[in-house]
Amino acid sequence: MGRYDGRVAVVTGSARGIGAGTAKRFADEGASVAVLDLDEAQAQATAEGLGAPDRPHPVQAAFIAEQAAQCGYCTNGMVMSTVALLRRIPKPTREQAQQALAGNLCRCGSHDRVLRAVQRAADAART
């Protein structure tokens, strides 16, 4: 249903059932709150769960090859957005990639490298 480590609260379950009240309780205790409208049984993918240092996920490998991560501020969001994009559209256009990544804030301006990494990952998936 939820957990709180003193700084960040993650609330799982139906937002209609427990989200709002539990989130308010955690927020009243000074936590940043993330309310997830999902069942405990639903698996959630994270960048950490995609690959391993010795066997990175193809999208992670593409980001490494294109040197798409500079400061790392946006990397997890860019990688996960790319994975989601390639699941929906295996061969995206540059414009589709730009649109899919538009919600991620990059502080370094490595957008061209990120877009090249998306294309590299899409090409690798086709081979």
Which residue ranges in the chain fall short of pLDDT 70? 1-44, 127
Q: Which residues contact 123 (CB under 8 A, 6 or more apart)?
A: none
Tell me, yes or no, whether 8 lies in a domain: yes
Q: What is the pLDDT of residue 48?
A: 74
Tell me, yes or no, whether 33 lies in a domain: yes
CA 14 and chain centroid, separation: 21
Tokens of 102: 């538009």
pTM for the model = 0.65
Q: What is the pLDDT of residue 7?
A: 46
Tell me, yes or no, whether 42 lies in a domain: no
Tell me, yes or no, whether 76 lies in a domain: yes
What CATH number does residue 77 fall under? 1.10.150.120
Q: What's the sign of the alpha-carbon dihedral 34, 104, 68, 43? A: positive
Q: Count of domains in the chain?
A: 2
Q: Which domain range does residue 104 map to? A: 47-126
Q: What is the pLDDT of residue 14?
A: 40
**Which of 70, 76, 69 minimizes the C-alpha distance to 46?**
76
Q: Which residues contact 65 (CB under 8 A, 6 or more apart)?
A: 117, 120
**Which of 26, 24, 20 minimizes the C-alpha distance to 3?**
26
**If you search the block for the tokens 């069942």, which residue do you land on?**
39
